[in-house]
Amino acid sequence: MHHAVAVLIAVLSLQTVHAAIHVTVSVEGVEGDIKKNVLAFLSIEQQKKHQDLTESLMKKLHQKAPDEIRRALQAFGYYRPDIQTELVLKESTWNAFYRITPGNPVIIDNVEVSITGEGRDHQSLRRLVGNIPLLKGDILNHQIYEKTKRLLHDTAMNFGFLKARMIKSNIEVQAGKGIAHVILHFDTGPQFRFGTVTFLQSVFSQEFLSRFIPFRNGEPYEVSRILALQTALNNSDYFESVEISPRTGQPEGLEVPIDVKLVPRKRYKYRFGLGYGTDTGFRGRVGWEISRINKAGHRFGITLEASQIKSGITGEYTVPLRDPRTDSLVFASGRLREDTETSTSEKLFGGVRFNHVIKGWKESIYLNLEEEDFDVADDEGRSTLLIPGISWTKIWTDNPVNTRRGLRTYLDIRGAHESLVSDLSFLQFRTQLKYIHGLWSGGRIIMRGEGGASLLSEFVDLPSSLRFFAGGDNSVRGYAYNSLGPEDESGDVAGGRHLLVGSVEYEQKIRGDWSAALFYDAGNAIDSISDPIRSGAGFGVRWKSPVGPVRVDLAFPLSESDKDWRIHFSVGPDL
């Protein structure tokens, strides 16, 4: 019994001794990445806190340190360092000192890069060789050397050279002369091609899905085009998940078969939304959509919207066309009602539009038949119009929710003629522009402009939905929604033939997700260039919410001193 206790005490004593070893490591003479690399190579640094570290092991690690330091320095081109080491026990702590004089670095004297194989004249590989980050006269850096090898290999693989390999790669260092010769001999092998694409699903026809493919069978294999296919399928909103598996390890000759596993979304989709804005008051939206009606990808959806000034129901039937990534045909119909301080409108409409996307621009060519009952100022009537039109929209942004830099442009041209079903003839243009530019320390300049022009003879017959008004959250702040425009003899706003609105705003981040803003707006709906321009100015606060900026503004109507200030509240993306 006494013997067992003695053994237990001895074991505990040994553990105590092991735990009592304290080691510090000090490296002098180098800084930055070089020092970090030295510490990463030093075994004594890596094991100084290990519970099993003994004094004898610690001394062996100290003896290994000079060779480890040399290897660490060679990665940065230093092959002739002077290293002084010292191990000192002071107050129960072992202090390991390493004083390094790196010496002169090795300089690259010659770089020999050659590419053989089918890809020797490939543009991307030739461009990479022409801009290789290893140049004569540079300090030898092994990390850059390894990065260059990876770039050659990755670039070749990305463009279908799946058997590419490095035939020879080495660095011939003449440490005594302080020079190095870099040799890279790379063989691309043959270029592989796209093989058959197989879609693993049972919901859509193969013919429909094949229209998403951005390449043809037999074209050169490129990873970027595989990613383009993945993006197109994900963005289509038909699928819950998309998994693309190129069979690069099982090619059919020089062709790579591609398997695409698709998990469709639920067939029925419901959408609900609530919001509030000063212009609209409380608003709500309910939507129902059949995401796939048939194997050709047709969709149908109904949206019901209601607010204090607007309400309506709209149905849309969407037909994907030859390229479903960019082209669709949409048949729409609905009933809309708007009741503001200046006008009342109730409209039935039906129409078709062709949507096309090219180089980031969304183009819509449309034809609408509209029947509208309207009451604005002293003008009251019913109109029937067959309106063809075309619009273009493009958005550039660094972040679609909280934008630091971005631009949105919109242009719409529409018209009607009495010889084609319509009650009157008119031609109308409308354009919008909004620009955001980030400045120092969380500041932003936000500028927007809106313009419109109408060409027609009998303005009184133009329904209120096609007249121009100004004022409101996204127009001239300080004035009520659609409260600005030419007035009739009774002083009621009748709307204008033309529109001109501009705004400039400076926003500054204050703390966290909160910002403050100063703004100046000016503009009006007008009938002629001599009509007065109204202006408003004020300040506000912004909060970056998950759904986009929440804006609260206090605006003063500068052109109408007899009117009080107004609060404007709005939510949503900047662009």
User: What does the pLDDT read at residue 20?
Assistant: 52
Distances (CA, A) of 45 to 22, 29, 42, 81, 545: 12, 17, 5, 20, 46
pLDDT tens readout for residues 300-346: 999 999 999 999 999 999 999 999 999 999 999 999 999 998 999 99
Asked whether residue 311 falls in the same domain as residue 210, the answer is no
User: What does the pLDDT read at residue 64?
Assistant: 93
Tokens of 518: 């100063």
Asked whether residue 216 falls in the same domain as residue 179, the answer is no
Asked whether residue 378 falls in the same domain as residue 505, the answer is yes
Which residues make Cβ contacts (< 8 Å) with residue 171, sequence separation at least 6? 140, 142, 145, 180, 181, 182, 183
Total domain count, the chain = 4
As a whole number, the mean pLDDT across the chain is: 92
Asked whether residue 34 falls in the same domain as residue 66, the answer is yes
pLDDT tens readout for residues 480-539: 999 999 998 888 999 999 999 999 999 999 998 999 999 999 999 999 999 999 999 999
**Domain around 486:** 268-571
User: What does the pLDDT read at residue 383?
Assistant: 94
Cα separation, 459 vs 461, whole angstroms? 5
Tokens of 133: 């980050």
Cα separation, 504 vs 538, whole angstroms? 11
Asked whether residue 84 falls in the same domain as residue 172, the answer is no
Which of 159, 187, 215 is the last residue in one of the domains?
A: 187
Looking up tokens 């081109």, which residue turns up? Answer: 77
Asked whether residue 48 falls in the same domain as residue 25, the answer is yes
The residue type found at 474 is N
User: 421, 384 in Cβ contact below 8 A?
Assistant: yes
Asked whether residue 16 falls in the same domain as residue 126, the answer is no
pLDDT tens readout for residues 202-232: 999 999 999 999 999 999 999 999 999 999 9
User: What does the pLDDT read at residue 237?
Assistant: 92
What average pLDDT does the segment 37-58 reach? 90
The total number of residues written for the chain in this structure: 575
Residue 247 has pLDDT above 90, yes or no: yes
What average pLDDT does the segment 431-449 reach? 94
In which band, very low, low, confident or very high, does the pLDDT at 550 lie, cut at 50, 70 and 90? very high
Q: Where residue 153 sits, what CATH number does that domain have?
A: 3.10.20.310
Q: What is the pTM of this model?
A: 0.80
Asked whether residue 324 falls in the same domain as residue 293, the answer is yes
Q: Where residue 358 sits, what CATH number does that domain have?
A: 2.40.160.50
The residue type found at 500 is L
Asked whether residue 320 falls in the same domain as residue 250, the answer is no
Cα separation, 528 vs 542, whole angstroms? 36
pLDDT tens readout for residues 404-418: 999 999 999 999 999
In which band, very low, low, confident or very high, does the pLDDT at 10 lie, cut at 50, 70 and 90? very low
Asked whether residue 474 falls in the same domain as residue 530, the answer is yes
User: 424, 462 in Cβ contact below 8 A?
Assistant: yes
Residue 479 has pLDDT above 60, yes or no: yes
Describe the chain by its helix, strand, coil percentages, rounded to 5: 20, 50, 30
Q: What is the DSSP letter of 138?
A: S
Which of 171, 187, 203 is the last residue in one of the domains?
A: 187
Q: For residue 413, what is the enclosing H or E element?
A: strand 405-416
Q: What is the DSSP letter of 493?
A: B
What average pLDDT does the segment 280-298 reach? 94
Asked whether residue 213 falls in the same domain as residue 85, the answer is no
Which of 207, 237, 264 is the last residue in one of the domains?
A: 264
**Least confident span in 5-14, 50-59, 291-300:** 5-14
In which band, very low, low, confident or very high, does the pLDDT at 461 lie, cut at 50, 70 and 90? very high
User: What does the pLDDT read at residue 442?
Assistant: 87
Cα separation, 195 vs 398, whole angstroms? 36
User: What does the pLDDT read at residue 18?
Assistant: 47
Asked whether residue 39 falls in the same domain as residue 124, the answer is no
Phi, psi of 339 (to 5 degrees): -135, 100
pLDDT over 90, % of the chain: 81
